[in-house]
């Protein structure tokens, strides 16, 4: 029975400074709080999927250094299969420098390190894993030819391909035509479609462009406002939850991981997006990337307690 989520993506150590506000160019803001935490879009999504109840295999590359040791240990604690996380002999583990302002907004710079070495050959050697995969979850913090190889292998094995197109890159129809679900935010949607999401009226237009490129389902993530879904059975907004945001660093990653996990548990797609919205809302109330990722029980309890979300587009 196919029930595995294969996550292909980046693994970083996050160096986070929380300040009263984000500094302007050339400005120093004093009084910040510093902490270090595991991160990287691929790793965040793998951890989110695992904590939300998914059976996860992670394909990534880290350095042969102390940071890499700690990252792998963390994934193992979350029950993630790390047999396909390889070590670089030349490059250090990836590092992200993150500043978080008092309103929860963030600014991020990433040194890819070993992530830049995650190559198509690493994906091809994992061919047996794709035969048991129900879902492939992949992002764009790794080389694009590696993403293309993973998408192709997943499609050949009948796995659902979820592409989180972040950070934004130009993508051709060759890859998009194999994507079952695409999950861009506002800025990524503009990069892919040329359409600014200034109001709710822009969402159907942008979704139609992506469907026209061959994508089967479109989920445009909208932060606190939730998401906009277009699929065969439903088109429209799925509102988010009103919470006090502390740090939005990994909210999109939490959304994607929880979405993948919900789909492997047989949730209808619309309900899976609602589950992912709730997971993301929980995550923004805590500092850090993986330190903020909720477990399935917390997500279920949040939904029961909060009921239907109230924020509308």
Q: In 3-state terms, what secondary structure has residue 16?
A: strand
Q: Which two tokens mark 233?
A: 């059975």
- Whether 253 sits among the annotated catalytic residues: the reply is yes
pLDDT of residue 309: 63
Do the Cβ atoms of 6 and 136 come closer than 8 Å? yes
Compute and round to an integer the Cα radius of gyration of the chain.
Answer: 18
Asked if 252 contacts 164 with a C-beta cutoff of 8 angstroms, the reply is yes
Annotated catalytic residue, options 14, 180, 202, 253: 253
Going across the sheet that includes 106-111, the strands are 33-39, 12-18, 94-100, 106-111
- H helical segments located in the chain: 41-51, 66-77, 120-124, 127-131, 144-156, 173-176, 186-193, 202-212, 251-264, 269-283, 296-306
Q: In terms of DSSP bridges, do strands 217-221 and 226-230 run parallel, antiparallel, or are they unpaired?
A: antiparallel
CB 255 within 8 A of CB 183: yes
The pTM is what? 0.92
Structure tokens belonging to residue 287: 């500092």
The 8-class DSSP code of residue 284 comes to T
Question: What integer pLDDT is reported at residue 31 of this predicted model?
Answer: 78
Count how many Cα atoms sit within 13 Å of the Cα of residue 157 in the half-sphere of its side chain. 23
Residue 54's pLDDT is what? 98
DSSP string, 189-204: HHHHHS----STTHHH
* Integer Cα distance of 19 and 308 in angstroms: 33
What's the DSSP call for residue 277?
Answer: H
Pairing of β 181-182 and β 217-221: parallel
Q: Please tell me whether residue 35 adopts helix, strand or coil conformation.
A: strand
Each residue's pLDDT, cut to its tens digit, for the chain (313 residues) gives 688 999 999 999 989 898 999 999 999 988 788 988 899 999 999 999 999 999 999 999 999 999 999 999 999 999 999 999 999 999 999 998 989 888 878 888 889 999 999 999 999 999 899 999 999 999 999 999 999 999 999 999 999 999 999 999 989 889 999 999 999 999 999 999 999 998 888 999 999 999 999 999 999 999 989 999 999 989 999 999 989 888 787 899 999 999 999 999 999 999 999 999 999 999 999 877 898 999 999 999 999 998 666 544 4
Give the H or E element holding residue 227.
strand 226-230
Helix, strand or coil, per DSSP, at residue 218:
strand
> Which pLDDT value is given to residue 310?
55
Question: What pLDDT, on a 0 to 100 scale, did the predictor assign at position 103?
Answer: 80
Q: What is the pLDDT of residue 306?
A: 82
Return the beta strands (E) in 55-139 as ranges: 55-63, 81-88, 94-100, 106-111, 133-138
């Amino acid at each position: 029975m196919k029930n595995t989520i294969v996550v292909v993506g980046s693994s970083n150590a996050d160096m986070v400074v929380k300040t009263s506000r984000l500094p302007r160019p050339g400005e120093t803001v004093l009084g910040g709080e510093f902490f270090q935490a595991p991160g990287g879009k691929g790793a965040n999504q793998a951890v989110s999927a695992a904590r939300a109840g998914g059976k996860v295999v992670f394909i990534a590359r880290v350095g042969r250094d102390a940071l890499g040791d700690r990252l792998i240990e963390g994934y193992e604690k979350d029950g993630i299969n790390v047999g396909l996380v390889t070590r670089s002999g030349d490059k250090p583990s990836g590092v992200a420098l993150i500043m978080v302002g008092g309103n929860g907004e963030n600014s991020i710079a990433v040194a890819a390190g070993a992530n830049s070495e995650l190559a198509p050959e690493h994906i091809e050697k994992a061919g047996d894993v794709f035969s048991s995969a129900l879902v492939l979850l992949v992002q764009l913090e790794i080389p694009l030819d590696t993403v293309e190889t993973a998408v192709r292998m997943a499609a050949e094995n009948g796995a659902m391909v979820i592409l989180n197109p972040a950070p934004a890159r130009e993508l051709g129809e060759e890859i998009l035509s194999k994507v079952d679900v695409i999950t861009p935010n506002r800025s990524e949607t503009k990069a892919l479609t040329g359409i600014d999401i200034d109001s709710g009226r822009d969402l159907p237009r942008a979704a139609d462009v992506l469907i026209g490129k061959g994508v089967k389902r479109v989920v445009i993530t909208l932060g606190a406002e939730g998401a906009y879904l277009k699929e065969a059975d439903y088109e429209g907004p799925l509102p988010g939850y009103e919470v006090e945001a502390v740090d939005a660093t990994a909210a999109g990653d939490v959304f994607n991981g929880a979405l993948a996990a919900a789909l492997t548990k047989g949730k209808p797609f619309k309900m899976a997006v609602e589950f992912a919205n709730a997971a993301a809302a929980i995550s923004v109330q805590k500092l850090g990337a993986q330190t903020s990722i909720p477990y399935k029980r917390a997500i279920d309890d949040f939904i029961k307690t909060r009921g239907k979300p109230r924020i509308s587009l």
